[in-house]
Amino acid sequence: MTVNDIKNAKIKAWVEECVKMCEPDSVVVCDGSRAEYDRLMKKCVDAGLATPLAKKPNSFLFRSLPSDVARVENRTFISSVKEEDAGPTNHWIAPKELKATMKGLYKGCMHGRTMYVLPFCMGPLGSPIAKYGVELTDSEYVVLNMDIMTRAGEQTWQYLGDDFIPCLHSVGKPLNNGEKDNGIWPCADVDHKYISHFPEEHLIWSYGSGYGGNALLGKKCFALRIATVLAREEGWLAEHMLILKLTNPKGEVKYITGAFPSACGKTNLAMLIPTIPGWKVETVGDDIAWMKFGKDGRLYAINPEAGFFGVAPGTSEESNKNALVAASKNTIFTNCALTEDGDVWWEGIGYPAKGKLVDWKGNVREALPKDKSPKGEEFAHPNARFTAPAKQCPCIASDWESPEGVPISAILFGGRRPSTIPLVHQARSWAHGVFLGSIVGSEITAASTINAADVGKIRRDPFAIIPFCGYNMGDYFQHWIDVGNNPSTNADKLPKIFYVNWFRKDDDNADLPGGFMWPGYGENSRVLAWVFDRCDGKDNFIDTPIGYMPKEGALNTDGLSDCYKKALPEILKVDREGWLKEVKDIRENHYPKFGKHLPKELSACLDDLETRLSK
């Protein structure tokens, strides 16, 4: 298929316009076939950009440049017509100015390269919740990853209409006069990277980066930043959330979503292996949930992605065995270490490497006698990734691709909080639940910052979506309030909302591994079981100033280690002094950012919380 064969006139005209501007040597319309995937991967191997892995069938390792290893938040823009509509948490440049700059960069940017035209679907093909896009890119790496992460190629053309999302990407490294990459990851310098979103036009332009969410434009750019805009316009929710299927010993099923900032165990929870007998967790999605109201007034969710773009370091048999199995074949690894026998390795994998390793920068080094490395000397980059097909996950739910989506009973929020926040509590109402989502945050640790003065402060990440919301976060809060007031539903059909915290600490207790008062991982199924019963209205709670909490004996502790049983009362009580400090921080440092855009309902919830705590 060629550009001339594209039947959709709007798509064809847009592609031709971009070809004229970017000036690629050739144009290929992708068909999404296995033959095409193999051909493009061979091209990367032959160019020295990819290494086949002897230990993992049809799997390959890529190494990026050190300047292109993660999202670049300070180069990510929400270019709304009005700066106010981008809000206080986004970077903004006026559309006219930003387009002029980027058009100058795009001019001739694909010299010496092929432009790939990749039609793709976010969500199950034909789903009433799914959306469609076309990405133009000069990166084979992007096409290969998008083949895994989306439903891409010929199969999508029949669904593509004029409301597609145009996504233009270039690595920003033209090859002139016969130049080659010579095995060096192509990208532009940091000051010339732009990941730009134009909300009013539903348009995405990306330049200068070949990494992950900066270049796989179906992921954060489309599935969250533009999708949040679409969701607000159309009355649904596009969220940075896992979706899991929870089955109790009676065979009853509930679906739960959850939003957690990075390093808070979201993927681990989505693929959890329960420790309590008779319970089962299956995965619908590990990162993004799109939720729309069904005819019965309930919210139904789909996972818009077809794969996992997971963080490798810290993934082990203990933390997430299912993720390791999912990434055991047909997987793309980025910035992991390479072992002598042709496998990948990373810090926190659960076992030491042997012999010599090629680290993520391409240096040959002697392996260490453990699976940890000094900070700054890691063999795998801390943001090293694996891109694996979701269907390979051993706990993938049989209905994960249901076109109608799955009905959501509960929504979890959580962050990494070593104090104050209890193991679990439930919101009294939808508005109270939105309040809980709006105050999500994690405590800054010495390991997560280079500024010692920030240690101990709370980094707020409402709904775990601060880097990914395509418009003003105050208006985003209001949209959540409005969803709860949707005339097509009522309060008893809305998901129940909970706040969880797996990370309470008592560093003075030598009996607690790492000082953590809760073991996490599979033991989190004990909390999920309580959530399950609360969704059925079971009388297993007490009313407290902060919301509903498990009554004594409501959490199943059979088989739980004694040290955690002893700690349980402490992490299931209300720390009034700590919560009053929380109220003060929210009132003085967090909510003022949103000014007149902050919904009055959230201010009322904050006042109510302070009043209850003061009684």
Torsion of CA 442, 443, 445, 447, to 10 degrees: 0
Is 264 annotated as catalytic?
yes
Q: Which two tokens stand for residue 300?
A: 């139904």
User: Which residue blocks in 427-496 are alpha helix, DSSP H?
Assistant: 430-438, 473-484
How far from 373 is each of 348, 359, 447, CA to CA, in Å? 9, 12, 13
Find how far residue 225's CA is from the centre of its chain.
12
Q: What are phi and psi of 426, to 5 degrees?
A: -115, 140
Burial of 81 (0-12, 13-18, 19+ CB in 10 A): middle
Cβ count within 10 A of residue 585: 16
Distance CA 73, CA 473 (A): 16
Give the single-character DSSP code of 47: T
The residue written with tokens 């409501």 in the block is: 554
Q: Find the length of the chain.
A: 615
Helices 9-22 and 95-106 sit at what angle, rounded to 10 degrees?
A: 60
User: What DSSP line would sit under 124-137, residue for residue?
Assistant: STT-TT-EEEEEEE
The residue written with tokens 């348009």 in the block is: 203
The strand ranges marked E within 93-155 are 114-122, 131-137, 151-152
The catalytically annotated residue of 18, 109, 221, 264 is 264
Buried b (16+ CB within 10 A) or exposed e, 258-272: bbbbebbbbbbbbbb
Burial of 66 (0-12, 13-18, 19+ CB in 10 A): exposed
Distance CA 187, CA 197 (A): 20
Distance CA 558, CA 278 (A): 13
R_g of the chain computed on alpha carbons: 24
Residue 60 β-bridge partners = 52, 332
Contact between 115 and 174 (Cβ < 8 Å): no
Contacts of residue 600, defined as CB under 8 A and 6 or more positions apart, other chains included, come to none
Contact between 63 and 385 (Cβ < 8 Å): no
Distance CA 381, CA 377 (A): 9
Maximum C-alpha span of the chain: 76
Residues labelled as active-site residues: 264
